């Protein structure tokens, strides 16, 4: 392909396809747009589908490069006739393109891909070449179409069904907490791990997966004031999606009840569903035909104490198109008996005329668990787009939702969050020293990163909270080491992931024979019996926790702690788990202090295994 009036370039040396067959150099010589693509797994009977067409090439002429840079219309180009030799699929013409024009493939300059996309299809092209789609900064686009015998690109029909990208709580305008201060030493900035960065990655993946719409399940923005910081990244995200023909639908959550409606007035293409607390629906089309209906409800004010799903069941929305699947998009508190966050029940979800529910509000994702209502509808929380603090452990990211014409909904979590948090237990030996423990902690952190990488998860950063467990003869030394060490300076790198330790706690036990010690009637024996109750569980443990909770309630309810309760990662200090751990730790320390007053020979040691 070359400019009108420009002499055709001279042939180059013959090339070979990945299949080992010789290629006519004319097949690739005149193709100016370059987009490198993987071909090892290419199957011409199962092509992928992309919204526009670009031609693979191996060479770009300087004159061609300069003309394309001016953004000339596609009709200015002349193409040579196909030279494929009769194979309508041109399998022998599969080639790797050199990514010399990756700038245009990323859409960062005018002309190139965007001009072809606006034209609806590529112009007539030279044969013996494979067509491909958009490339991205992280992953090359997949192959999707071949030149036909007449030298024009063949558009393959879309498969049945619809693809959506569902995104849970984003909280633009905030940053993850508990990050180490020396990330820059490893080539990483805090901005690389924020909700803004996670949203950018989700948009890139939405385009790569060729979804038909992106759905936000509320709390897109962290607060009313955060809307100023959220405007630019959200506006850019919507613009990038709209440029690819992808619709953007959202419901309002309790955090962004003021911010998101205001931003929607400024951002063209951001469609809110259910504004003002009234259920509404939107229909997503595929190839000009209705494919899926999305019904949604938005918070009208920050606190809503009644069930929005009950309101939908009392006044159902008529389906706009019979025979297409219907998804529910909702932000609220599932199975909460009361509260200010739009409480609703699983039974109410099952009674609604909806095929599946995509939920926001709870930051722990659960959609992949396969939970269904009594009526068979799939439901679950999408979770936060990226873990905002160390309590939000495990995989996070958007969800690819595939819906076929029969209404079958298949969710797949794309675990692409740039930051991941994990909690792990690390067992110590009886005689392990603090120095040994420090080395083992770093090795354990790297092991977790390697294990995640083997599972296909490579976050840019991995934060760990470690609980040291086990019976030890060096209780005081280990406890002091754990409590005094500056763990946030323990940062390293494993493969592509920066690994850091956020916090280390312990649930160490004394290497003692508690049963023998508990047989006496002195204070150490009484404490040993209490510790045995806490470790064994059952009704006695429940009664002990209830007694402790009653005594500590007045302290926990003091006004000085109320501001902490409003923090996103606030936990109930009097929950069974937290209270039980605190009692074990304090009881073990007390027992150690009591035993220190005895002669060593009188302390019953734990038997060797």
**Tens-place pLDDT, residues 351-373:** 999 999 999 999 999 999 889 99
- For residues 104-131, give the mean pLDDT: 34
Comparing CA positions, the residue from 415, 575, 421 lying closest to residue 503 is: 421
Q: Dig out the tokens for 565 from the structure.
A: 């309760």
Higher-confidence residue: 581 or 46?
Answer: 581
SS3 402: strand
Distance CA 108, CA 104 (A): 6
Residue 270 CB neighbours (<10 A): 24
Higher-confidence residue: 31 or 361?
Answer: 361
pLDDT band for 566, please (50, 70, 90 cuts). low
Considering Cα of 308, then 313, then 316, then 320, what sign does the dihedral take?
A: positive
pLDDT at 456: 87
Q: What are phi and psi of 361, to 5 degrees?
A: 125, -50
Distance CA 309, CA 328 (A): 10
Residue 606 CB neighbours (<10 A): 16
Share of the chain above pLDDT 70, in %: 70
Q: Dig out the tokens for 141 from the structure.
A: 């686009």
Position 254 pLDDT exceeds 70: yes
- 117-121, 316-320, 470-474, 478-482: segment of lowest average pLDDT: 117-121
Q: Are the C-beta atoms of 414 and 164 separated by less than 8 Å?
A: no
pLDDT band for 571, please (50, 70, 90 cuts). low
pLDDT at 122: 35
Q: What are phi and psi of 551, to 5 degrees?
A: -75, -30
**Tens-place pLDDT, residues 45-74:** 333 322 223 333 333 333 333 333 333 332
| Burial (Cβ within 10 Å: 0-12, 13-18, ≥19) of residue 93 | buried
Higher-confidence residue: 346 or 527?
Answer: 346
pLDDT at 602: 58
C-alpha dist (Å) from residue 506 to 213, 443, 519, 535, 595:
46, 18, 27, 15, 20
Position 2 pLDDT exceeds 80: no
Helix H or strand E segment including 361: none
- Report the residue count for the chain: 609
- For residues 472-481, give the mean pLDDT: 89
Distance CA 209, CA 51 (A): 11
Q: How far apart are the first and last CA of the chain?
A: 78
Distance CA 86, CA 99 (A): 28
Q: Dig out the tokens for 333 from the structure.
A: 């508190």
Q: Dig out the tokens for 518 from the structure.
A: 């508990």
pLDDT at 449: 93
- 228-242, 381-395, 537-551: segment of lowest average pLDDT: 537-551
Comparing CA positions, the residue from 45, 49, 33 lying closest to residue 97 is: 33
pLDDT at 607: 52
pLDDT at 49: 28
Distance CA 165, CA 206 (A): 6
Position 6 pLDDT exceeds 70: no
C-alpha dist (Å) from residue 314 to 270, 346, 351:
29, 16, 10
- For residues 105-113, give the mean pLDDT: 33
Position 427 pLDDT exceeds 50: yes
pLDDT band for 559, please (50, 70, 90 cuts). low
Distance CA 378, CA 325 (A): 12
- Classify strands 378-381 and 399-403 as parallel, antiparallel or unpaired: unpaired
Comparing CA positions, the residue from 409, 403, 324, 334 lying closest to residue 364 is: 334
Question: Look-up: residue for tokens 């440029």?
Answer: 243
Distance CA 524, CA 510 (A): 13
C-alpha dist (Å) from residue 20 to 16, 132, 425, 563:
6, 20, 52, 69
| Burial (Cβ within 10 Å: 0-12, 13-18, ≥19) of residue 95 | buried
C-alpha dist (Å) from residue 467 to 167, 423, 470, 482:
32, 8, 10, 10
**Tens-place pLDDT, residues 296-344:** 999 999 999 999 999 999 999 999 898 899 999 999 999 988 899 999 9
Distance CA 225, CA 3 (A): 53
**Tens-place pLDDT, residues 124-168:** 333 323 333 333 322 222 222 333 333 333 333 344 579 999 999
CATH 3.40.190.10 matches 162-413: no
**Taking the mean position of all CA atoms in its chain, how far away is CA 344?**
25
Helix H or strand E segment including 595: helix 576-595
- 37-51, 235-249, 320-334, 507-521: segment of lowest average pLDDT: 37-51
pLDDT at 532: 83
Long-range Cβ contacts of 492-495 (<8 Å, 24+ apart): 492/442, 492/445, 492/446, 493/186, 494/445, 494/446, 494/449, 494/450, 494/453, 495/449, 495/450, 495/453, 495/458
Higher-confidence residue: 470 or 62?
Answer: 470
pLDDT at 500: 93
Residues of the chain with CATH 3.60.21.10: 162-413
pTM: 0.69
C-alpha dist (Å) from residue 172 to 39, 168, 190, 220:
38, 12, 14, 6
C-alpha dist (Å) from residue 277 to 262, 269, 274:
16, 21, 6
The mean pLDDT of the chain is: 75
Q: Are the C-beta atoms of 480 and 572 separated by less than 8 Å?
A: no
pLDDT at 600: 60
- For residues 588-604, give the mean pLDDT: 72
Q: What does the DSSP 8-state code read for residue 593?
A: H
**Tens-place pLDDT, residues 437-452:** 888 888 899 999 999 9
């Amino acid at each position: 392909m070359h400019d009108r009036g420009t002499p055709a370039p001279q042939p180059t040396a013959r090339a070979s396809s990945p299949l080992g067959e010789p290629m006519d150099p004319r097949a690739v010589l005149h193709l100016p747009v370059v987009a490198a693509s993987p071909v090892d797994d290419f199957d011409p009977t199962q092509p992928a589908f992309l919204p526009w067409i670009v031609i693979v090439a191996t060479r770009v002429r300087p004159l061609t490069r300069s003309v394309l840079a001016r953004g000339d219309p596609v009709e200015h180009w002349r193409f040579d006739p196909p030279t494929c030799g009769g194979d309508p699929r041109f399998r022998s013409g599969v080639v790797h393109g050199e990514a010399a024009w990756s700038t245009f493939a990323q859409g960062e300059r005018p002309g190139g891909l965007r001009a072809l996309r606006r034209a609806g299809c590529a112009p007539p092209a030279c044969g013996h070449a494979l067509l491909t789609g958009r490339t991205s900064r992280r992953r090359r686009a997949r192959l999707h179409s071949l030149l036909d015998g007449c030298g024009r690109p063949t558009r393959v029909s879309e498969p049945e069904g619809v693809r959506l990208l569902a995104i849970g709580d984003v909280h633009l305008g905030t940053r993850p907490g508990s990050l180490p201060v020396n990330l820059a030493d490893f080539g990483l900035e805090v901005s690389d791990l924020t909700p803004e960065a996670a949203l950018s990655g989700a948009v890139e993946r939405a385009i790569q997966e060729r979804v038909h719409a992106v759905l936000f399940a509320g709390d897109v923005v962290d607060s009313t004031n955060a809307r100023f910081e959220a405007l630019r990244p959200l506006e850019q995200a919507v613009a990038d999606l709209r440029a690819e023909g992808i619709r953007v639908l959202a419901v309002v959550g309790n955090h962004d009840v003021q911010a998101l409606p205001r931003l929607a007035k400024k951002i063209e293409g951001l469609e809110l569903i259910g504004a003002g607390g009234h259920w509404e629906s939107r229909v997503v089309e595929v190839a000009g035909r209705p494919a899926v209906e999305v019904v949604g409800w938005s918070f009208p004010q920050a606190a809503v104490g009644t069930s929005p799903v009950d309101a939908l069941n009392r006044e159902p929305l008529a389906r706009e198109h019979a025979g297409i699947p219907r998804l529910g998009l909702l932000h609220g508190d599932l199975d909460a008996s009361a509260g200010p966050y739009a409480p609703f029940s699983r039974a109410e979800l099952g009674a609604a005329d909806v095929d599946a529910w995509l939920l926001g509000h709870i930051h722990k994702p659960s959609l992949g668990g396969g939970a269904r209502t009594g009526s068979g509808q799939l439901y679950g929380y999408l979770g936060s787009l990226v873990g905002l603090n160390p309590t939000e452990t495990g995989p996070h990211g958007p969800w690819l939702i595939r819906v076929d014409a029969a209404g079958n909904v298949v969710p797949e979590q794309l675990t692409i969050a740039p930051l991941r948090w994990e909690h792990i237990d690390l067992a110590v030996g009886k005689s392990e020293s603090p120095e040994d423990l420090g080395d083992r902690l770093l090795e354990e952190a790297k092991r977790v990163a390697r294990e995640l990488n083997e599972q296909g998860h490579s976050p840019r950063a991995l934060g760990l909270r470690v609980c040291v467990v086990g019976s030890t003869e060096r209780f005081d030394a280990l406890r002091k080491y754990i409590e005094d060490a500056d763990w946030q300076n323990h940062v390293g790198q494993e493969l592509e992931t920066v690994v850091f330790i956020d916090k280390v706690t312990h649930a160490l036990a004394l290497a003692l024979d508690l049963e023998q010690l508990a047989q006496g009637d002195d204070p150490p024996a009484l404490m040993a019996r209490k510790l045995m109750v806490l470790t064994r569980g059952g009704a006695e443990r429940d009664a002990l926790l209830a007694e402790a909770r009653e005594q500590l309630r007045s302290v926990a309810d003091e006004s000085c702690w109320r501001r902490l309760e409003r923090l996103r990662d606030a936990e109930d200090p009097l929950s069974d788990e937290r209270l039980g751990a605190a009692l074990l730790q304090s009881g073990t320390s007390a027992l150690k202090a009591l035993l220190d007053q005895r002669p060593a020979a009188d302390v019953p040691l734990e038997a060797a295994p």
